[in-house]
Amino acid sequence: MHEFSMVSQLVEKVVEEARKRGAKRVVEVELEVGQLSFLNPEQMLFAYRILTKGTILEKSRLTIRTVEAHVRCRLCGFDGKPEYADDASYHVSAPLFLCPNCGGPVEVLVGTGCIIKRVRLEV
């Protein structure tokens, strides 16, 4: 469950920044989470509720926007969404990192990160 670790780091960073700015409390934290980060938004929300107790973030809202993956083929130039394989052994749909047009290798352009986009503070 790497969501717990990721949210723990998020809370630390937001608390640090809120203190620097003399905030009374954090109202909202907005995240962009890449589709290929394999972070589960429900598990992140659960971890957030636990990890913010007793902090300046305790009654804040966590908003998560999923960013779709985007790839480019190094051989034919295909530019778009990756295809997904539905294989029961993955327990989820897993991305194929091959071009849907030519089968060549693709470069992931967007969709792997977890970015704090905005923090609303009460000062």
CB 103 within 8 A of CB 6: no
Instruction: Give the angle 9-115-40 at the CA atoms, nearest 5°.
Output: 75
Q: Do the annotations mark residue 102 as ligand-binding?
A: yes
Q: Do the annotations mark residue 114 as ligand-binding?
A: no
Listed residue (2, 14, 122, 1) closest to 62, CA to CA: 14
Would you list which residues are annotated within the binding site for Zn(2+)? 73, 76, 99, 102
**Residues in binding site for Ni(2+):** 2
Going by the annotation, the residues of the binding site are: 2, 73, 76, 99, 102
